[in-house]
A and B are shown apart, each in its own frame.
Chain A
Amino acid sequence: MREPLRFDDLILKEVGGLLVPFLQMFGVYVIFHGHLSPGGGFSGGTVAGISMILFSLVFGLGPGLRKVSHDATRIMESSGTLWYGLVGLVGVLRGASFLMNRGAGIPLGTPGRLFSGGLILLITVGVGIKVASAIISLYYLIVED
């Protein structure tokens, strides 16, 4: 496979390899703490997706595609949106309206704890997966000429 965009540099490789896991960790942190601190699905998903862009830039598109393939982005892309809709159906199944949280009798927990807020955390995770895969697949699309 042709490598369209790749910078062959020792410093970049070392720093990039060091940075990628922390970026992913930070992205997941922002997604999971969306209801507690600034952030949420959109910003955390962007950070998590950008870590894969950095990986592909530093180590080449081939290794990047081996980590997250086209099929993986496609499945994540569709399932993120689908998951959101399914979470919304929980309210319907409990006899309230679509996407209802407290009104559907879902326990909210103590505000401030990680597992609180009912459906908000599930929704945020779905949005995060969706945004991360959107960023990655758009990058693949642009780079793979």
Chain B
Amino acid sequence: MRRFFALLLVMGVAWLMVLAVAEMPTYGQPNPTHNAVMERYLTRGPEETGAVNVVAGILADYRAYDTLIETTVLFAAVAAALLALGEGRHRGGAT
């Protein structure tokens, strides 16, 4: 019985997701949701960020928060790996 309800729940969530996808505009259409941000970055990126490399301009200026948290995630991953696998040894802790 639990399995039946679980299956029902999964199918319901999947149905919601399919509905959401069906509502999305067709890819590549002249649609502002797809193209406005891209056009702004490509045409005005060097002028607004000062970076000729548009990718760097997006990463470090327009989307600087994203890169900051990305760096923090990397820091957390390395800190967790050091903590779990070997850091105690250098501090004289239990091996």
Instruction: Report which B residues bind A (CB closer than 8 A).
Output: 46-53, 55-57, 59-61, 64-65, 67-68, 71-72, 74-75, 77-79, 81-82, 85-86, 90
Q: Is the CB of B51 within 8 A of A36?
A: yes
**Interface residue tally of chain A, by bracket?**
35 or more
Q: Return the CB mask of A18-54 against B: 1 if under 8 Å, else 0.
A: 0000000000000000111111110000000000000
A141 CB-CB contact with B under 8 Å: yes
CB distance from B84 to the nearest CB of A (A): 10
30 contacts between A and B (CB under 8 A): A34-B53, A35-B50, A35-B52, A35-B53, A35-B56, A36-B51, A36-B52, A40-B59, A70-B90, A77-B75, A80-B71, A81-B71, A81-B72, A84-B67, A85-B68, A98-B65, A99-B65, A112-B52, A117-B50, A117-B56, A119-B60, A120-B51, A120-B60, A123-B60, A124-B60, A130-B71, A130-B74, A134-B74, A137-B78, A141-B82
A129-145, CB < 8 A from B: 130-131, 134, 137-138, 141, 144
Shortest CB-to-CB span from A123 to chain B, Å, is: 5
Contact between chains at A78 and B56 (CB < 8 Å): no
Cβ–Cβ contact B53 & A141, under 8 A: no
Tell me the minimal C-beta distance from B56 to chain A in angstroms.
4
Task: Please measure, in the bound complex, the distance between the C-alpha atom of A116 and the C-alpha atom of B61, giving whole angstroms.
Answer: 13
CB within 8 A of A38: which of B55, B60, B72, B78?
B55
Please pick, from B46, B64, B74, the residue contacting A123 in the complex, using a CB distance under 8 A: B64
- Knowing A36-B51, A84-B68, A117-B50, the reply to whether A124 touches B78 (Cβ < 8 A) is no
Known: A81-B75, A138-B78, A141-B85. A111 touches B47 (CB 8 A): yes
Give the nearest-CB partner of B65 in chain A. A99
